[in-house]
Amino acid sequence: MTKARAGSAGGRLFSARPVSLTARILAVNIIALGLLAGSLFYIDNYRNQLIAERFSLARAEAEITADALAGASKVQRVSLLAKIGTDRMLRLRLYDVDGTLLADSFELADPSFTFVDPDSEPWYQHAARALDRGMDFLIGAPPIPDYQDPQTPGAESWPEIQDAIESGETTVHQRLAPDRTPVITAAALVGESGEVLLTTRNAPDITQNVRDARQTLAIIVGAALAISILLSLFLARTIVQPLRSLVRAAVRVRLGRDREVVVPRLPDRRDEIGLLARAISDMTAALRQRIDAVESFAADVVHELKNPLASLRSALESLTKVDDPLLRRQLMDIAAHDVQRIDWLVTEIADASRVDAELSRATFEPVDMVKLVTALVAERESRGVSGVCRIIVSQAGQADKRVAGVATRLERVLENLLDNAVSFSPDRASVEVELARDDDHIEISVSDHGPGIPAEAREKVFERFHSLRPVGEDFGSHSGLGLAIARTIVEAHDGTLTAQDRIDGKPGARLLIDLPAWDRD
């Protein structure tokens, strides 16, 4: 019960929010690409790794340079600061124990780097910086202070120098240049004198590497998104268009406004859509045939009932005008016969109209056709319904002759065939019933010695209310539905019922039932 309610709730949820199939296909593909695009945020990890590497490099450079300066004279320090600053593209500042600037490599030699003026750059660099800020905002990156050269040259403007003095270890800080590229500074103690070395490096390559990685990933995601959208639209077109055509055709069939509505069969499609189209087309054709059959059956019923009703009305109207007792007795006999015929017709019509529905819901069980035929013939003989005709039952071989079906309905088929054979047989003639098994089929034939059935009429005899009857038979003694009902029942058992000539070449008809054999243990 819980699963059923959950499924029902799910169905109501989707029905309450109608979304086209095209939108769903696009959504599924775009969501998947959205997850891929989310990897853009992991570029921040890449940037952090690069910064961490540069921090390690800055710490190592500051410590190595500080060690070199600790063992150098004042003259050597000047040349050493200038050379290292130029070679390593660093700005080196040396402060004494009081925080006074002793030397600056940018004053001892030409500056090894300069900050880029953002105002001098093209528009796409401004867009790149705006994107940097946007990504930092989205991922919640901590703010980084801007880099500014101090107005006074003292060490108090550099908190990393104070940290290095207090901790006795090299301290590294990061700031942002005017063009938002990293500026990495490192402060290291120089020997035991209390002097401090401050190194400064501008690392625009980090920003460029991050932007290149982000751009490459964005291009890949964008191309994948474009391709995915095009493929989704193509997929939606190949699925949605034929479905819409089928929907339109189905609606027109339901409304019944166009009797010749053609449901597209999509013969070129071998996928599930093609199978669905052909199934709907076949279903529509079967539905039309069923409707036509019902309409034809209704018309035939009206026609068949009119005759006895007209005869009955004429007899009843004449009764009030006739005084002759003998004639009144004849009219009463006619009226009774017409009432009996109408009752018979109504019973047969009701049976013919519900046989399909009953068999579609029935549970098929194994039926031994030899036992069924033998019991039916014995029961007819006990009732004497076959008159002076003799019914002979024979079987070929002793193979199992069971079929899957409904015993009462299969008995009705045989009853109708025997009635038909007896009615066409001459007096004291025999009717032969033969049973045989051919591989996985059971064949039951009913043969008579009557006039036979012309080849051109062998299908018509199975039509409802077929009126071809033996010469001399009382009018109205048969409904004309017997063989039609028999074929309907046989076909509902996945079998066939056909009319043939006798196989021995003698005059007469042979009606052959072919049913699938019971194939279960």
Closest CA to 492 of 292, 300, 373, 354: 354
Q: Do residues 286 and 351 both lie within one domain? A: yes
Judge whether 243 lies within some domain.
no
Half-sphere exposure of 510 (CA within 13 A, CB side): 17
Local confidence band at 353 (pLDDT 50, 70, 90 cut-offs)? low
Higher pLDDT, 210 or 265: 210
Residue 181 lies in a domain: yes
Residue-wise pLDDT for 305-329, tens only, equals 777 788 778 878 887 777 788 888 8
d(CA 422, CA 420): 6
Q: Are residues 344 and 374 in the same domain?
A: no
Do residues 189 and 305 both lie within one domain? no
One domain for residues 283 and 356: yes
What's the chain's average pLDDT? 82
For residue 375, the model assigns a pLDDT of 92
Q: How do residues 450-490 score in pLDDT, each as one tens digit?
A: 888 888 888 888 887 665 555 444 444 455 677 888 888 89
Q: Which of 8-17, 337-346, 357-366, 427-436 has the highest mean pLDDT?
A: 427-436
Final residue before a domain boundary, out of 333, 361, 389: 361
* CATH number for the domain that contains residue 388: 3.30.565.10
Instruction: Give the C-alpha separation, 306 to 345, whole Å.
Output: 11
Q: Which residue, 331, 361, 391, sits at the end of a domain? A: 361
Total domains in the fold of the chain: 3
Question: Same domain, yes or no, for 374 and 289?
Answer: no
My answer on whether 138 and 179 are in the same domain is yes
Same domain? 368 vs 319: no
Considering the domain architecture, whether residues 387 and 303 belong to the same structural domain is answered as: no
3-state secondary structure 272-304: HHHHHHHHHHHHHHHHHHHHHHHHHHHHHHHHH
Query: What pLDDT, in 10s, does the model give residues 119-172?
Result: 898 988 888 888 888 878 877 788 999 998 888 888 888 999 999 999 999 999
Q: Does 349 lie in the same domain as 371?
A: no
Residues 63 and 206 in one domain: yes
CB 166 within 8 A of CB 19: no
- Is the domain of 114 the same as that of 195? yes
User: Does residue 390 lie in a domain region?
Assistant: yes
The alpha helices in 98-158, defined as continuous H runs, are: 105-108, 123-139
Last residue of a domain, one of 183, 214, 245: 214
Percent of the chain with pLDDT over 90: 32
- Segments forming the whole domain that contains residue 506: 362-516
In whole angstroms, what is the distance from residue 78 CA to residue 69 CA? 9
Q: Is residue 257 part of a domain?
A: no
Q: pLDDT tens across 375-409, in order? A: 999 998 888 887 778 899 999 888 889 999 999 88
Q: Is 314 domain-assigned?
A: yes
Residues 321 and 417 in one domain: no
How long a stretch of residues is the chain?
A: 521
The pLDDT tens digits for 74-97 are 889 999 999 999 999 999 999 999
**pLDDT tens-digit profile of 201-241?**
999 999 999 888 888 877 877 787 788 778 777 777 777 77
Is the pLDDT score of 99 beyond 70? yes
Give the tokens for residue 291. 């409707």
pLDDT value of position 160: 93
The CATH number for 98's domain is 3.30.450.20
28 within a domain of the structure (yes/no): no
Which DSSP category does 517 fall into? B
Q: pLDDT tens digits for 16-29?
A: 455 666 676 677 66
pLDDT for res 320: 78
Asked whether residue 368 is assigned to any structural domain, the reply reads: yes
- Within a domain: 15: no
Whether residue 335 contacts residue 316, with contact meaning beta carbons closer than 8 Å, is answered with yes
